[in-house]
């Protein structure tokens, strides 16, 4: 079981489903949510100061207002966030564009590109990747 997971998605129903499935599967002790990439980056910036728990895994949507998944990954892979370089990312998207899948491979922290919605079977698969 992971200690902390961050779910980044602009859809409140998707976030609720993520929490439900992760809790039922006993996959993580704590689930933090963010509505977009900017909120997620702010969480990491403030957790640097507060010594909050560092998420071991991020479920990341790509298409979000304010800051999407690609912009989040571009920022998250800079030296500013280097102390989080062990945090892994699973892209969880409703689009399965082959170009997006290829683009995701360019980010070393991205473990996989999976299709929504999250499921217990998906979490079992993710466990094998960690």
Is-above-0.85 flag for pTM?
Answer: yes
Rg (CA), the chain: 13
Render each residue's pLDDT in the chain as its tens digit; 130 residues: 999 999 999 999 999 999 999 999 999 999 999 999 999 999 998 875 666 678 999 999 999 999 999 999 999 999 999 888 889 999 999 887 899 999 999 999 999 999 999 999 999 999 999 9
């Amino acid at each position: 079981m992971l200690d902390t997971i961050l779910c980044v998605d602009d859809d409140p129903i998707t976030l609720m489903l993520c929490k439900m499935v992760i809790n039922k599967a006993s996959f993580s002790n704590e689930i933090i949510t963010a509505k977009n990439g900017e909120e997620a980056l702010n969480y990491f910036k403030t957790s640097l100061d507060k010594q909050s728990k560092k998420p071991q895994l991020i479920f990341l949507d790509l298409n979000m207002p304010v800051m999407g998944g690609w912009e989040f990954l571009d920022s998250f892979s800079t030296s500013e966030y280097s102390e989080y370089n062990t945090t892994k990312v699973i892209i969880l998207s409703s689009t399965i564009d082959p170009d997006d899948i290829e683009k995701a491979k360019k980010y070393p922290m991205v473990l996989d590109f999976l299709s929504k919605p999250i499921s217990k079977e998906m979490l079992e698969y993710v466990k094998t990747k960690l």
